[in-house]
Amino acid sequence: MIREAVLKDAAGIANVHVESWKTTYRGIISDQFLDSLSHTEREKRWQATLSQTDRKEMIYVAEDNNRKIVGFISGGPNRSDDRNYQGELYAIYLLQEAQGKGVGLKLVQALVKKLLQNKLESMMVWVLAGNPSRRFYEALGGTPVRTAKISIGGENYEEIAYGWKNIQSILDRENRESRR
């Protein structure tokens, strides 16, 4: 089930955030940094974010059949000065057991629908170059549009921005595939 996140979801989102970083970025980001990630600290950050009544960030969670949060997505207006893309997918993370089951696609679709409702018709996302999950964005029709350096745990990494000039294409692609 995909739904909008609420304040009581902070702990579940934090768990997904920390655990997915540990599984996704192991071997890409230093073990020392990954091992230092704190559920408590991440939960405080998510509580602060979800408590904001005037936030522009859109956050959705994915729950399994037991109502456990197994993934989340956040996005909103583009935070950079790139005028070619109105919206931005800020983060999407899934627990390892939820990957490869269509949950990520459903989360992206929920965000895209909300972006479109808010008149944001294009989107970009930044992905670590070493992250094999970037192929997910390629499968959704995202094209590499730029690169940048980012510092994580005192080390520098390359990021790739994927962009969609028309995010309606993400929904149209799914509609075509569901008719097959």
Give the pLDDT of residue 175: 56
In a domain, 40, yes or no: yes
* Structural domain harbouring 39: 2-173
Which residues is 123 bridged to in the sheet? 87, 164
Give the pLDDT of residue 174: 58
Task: Residue 113: give its domain's CATH number.
Answer: 3.40.630.30
Rounded Cα distance, 97 and 100, in Å: 8
Q: Residue 147: which of 126, 133, 132, 164 has the closest Cα?
A: 126
Count the neighbouring beta carbons within 10 Å of the beta carbon of residue 166.
12
For the chain, give the percent of residues with pLDDT over 90.
84
Give the pLDDT of residue 172: 85
Banded pLDDT at 176 (limits 50, 70, 90) = low
Burial of 132 (0-12, 13-18, 19+ CB in 10 A): exposed
In a domain, 46, yes or no: yes
In a domain, 94, yes or no: yes
Residues 52-104 have pLDDT tens digits of 988 899 999 999 999 999 999 999 999 988 888 999 999 999 999 998 899 99
Our count of domains for the chain comes to 1
Whether pTM > 0.85 for this model: the answer is: yes
In a domain, 178, yes or no: no
Residues 29-49 have pLDDT tens digits of 999 999 999 999 999 999 999
In a domain, 67, yes or no: yes
In a domain, 54, yes or no: yes
In a domain, 45, yes or no: yes
In a domain, 180, yes or no: no
Give the pLDDT of residue 13: 97
